[in-house]
Chains A and B, each alone.
Chain A
Amino acid sequence: MCNAVIAIHGGAGAIAQASLSVQKEKQYFAALRKIVSAGQRLLAGGGSALDAVTQAVRLLEECPLFNAGKGAVFTHAGDHELDASIMDGFSLQAGAVAGVKHIRNPILAARAILEHSPHVMLTGDGAEDFAEQQRLERVENEFFSTPERFAQLKLARQRGEMLLDHGGAAAGGVQFMPPDQKFG
């Protein structure tokens, strides 16, 4: 039997300790502990690594603190486009979605592609249609919005630049991409 383990991340960036409030810091630590614990329990019960990472990422998507699912960042157009992927190390099967706007948990769509599609990646409307066929939950795009992320968008628009994960108002610091105008 292997020494089963789970590791998670919730994004990286210019997370300045001095600018992250104590209350916010506690929220992040609590969320991370809760999600790691859930993964540990699943693995301890004999659950698969594939199920553990699916569950962990779904829980991270549901937590508005992190940039995925609920709490995802805004595009230049003011909406949300989500991407997700998953890979099984045993079978080398993989699934991914890109540019989806209405799938509540994109990781579940990626998992469904891994299990029920001959393809590896579906994008946009094709991914949305596939998710609907798989009876995955559909939400309005506004479901993913939070006031903190909208504040980040306004700041980024003012600066005319793109903003990496956890570099904006929610984290207290600012970290911009180089001004290469990749957003058009």
Chain B
Amino acid sequence: TVGAVALDQLGNLAAATSTGGITNKHAGRVGDSPIIGAGCYANNASVAVSCTGSGEVFMRTLAAYDIAALVTYSNLSLQEACQKVVMEKIPQLGGSGGLVAVDRLGNVALPFNSEGMYRGYGYIGDAPDVGIYR
């Protein structure tokens, strides 16, 4: 699975996700990637999120929207919301994976509970910051 989130100079957020799914999947199986609110979500009032991992768990937790809801209704920071969803809720249901997220202030989070996640981010004018492992 791949994905991206962005905040532009006008303060608009967007998210996108794309995938081939999981190897040896049943024909017709659909995971979280195309499900708005599960694997992809963006709202200028809160955050933009794109997920990757065990899709069925991300669907059952509405992971992407859950982060937006925690930021909006519980006033959690982006980091706190990501911590709760990726490091607590998803593992509780046996899920693994991660996500990239950005809030309306330009804070970025790239949490994952698996061994690694191919990831990167960059503000305008900065060198890209990329990583694979913890």
Residue B9 is within 8 A (CB to CB) of chain A in the complex: yes
Contact of A74 among B24, B33, B48, B96 (CB under 8 A): B24
Residue B79 is within 8 A (CB to CB) of chain A in the complex: no
Q: Do the beta carbons of B128 and A9 come within 8 Å of each other?
A: no
- Chain A residues within 8 Å of B83, by CB: none
B85 to chain A, nearest CB (A): 14
Contact of A53 among B14, B36, B52 (CB under 8 A): B14
Q: Do the beta carbons of A44 and B108 come within 8 Å of each other?
A: no
Q: How many A-B residue pairs have CB under 8 A?
A: 353
- Chain B residues within 8 Å of A177, by CB: 22, 54
Residues of A contacting B: mostly: mixed
Q: Do the beta carbons of B2 and A61 come within 8 Å of each other?
A: yes
Q: Do the beta carbons of A9 and B28 come within 8 Å of each other?
A: no
Cα separation A115 to B79 with both chains bound (whole Å): 32
Contact of A40 among B54, B96, B124, B133 (CB under 8 A): B124
Q: Which B residues lie at the A interface, using CB under 8 A?
A: 1-31, 33-36, 39-45, 48, 50, 52-54, 56, 94, 96-102, 105-106, 108, 110, 112, 114-126, 128-130, 132-133
Cross-chain pairs A/B with CB under 8 angstroms, 27 sampled: A3-B105, A5-B7, A5-B106, A5-B121, A7-B101, A9-B98, A13-B53, A14-B116, A15-B114, A15-B117, A16-B115, A36-B121, A49-B48, A53-B16, A53-B50, A57-B3, A57-B16, A57-B17, A60-B3, A82-B19, A87-B41, A88-B12, A88-B42, A94-B40, A96-B36, A121-B34, A166-B118
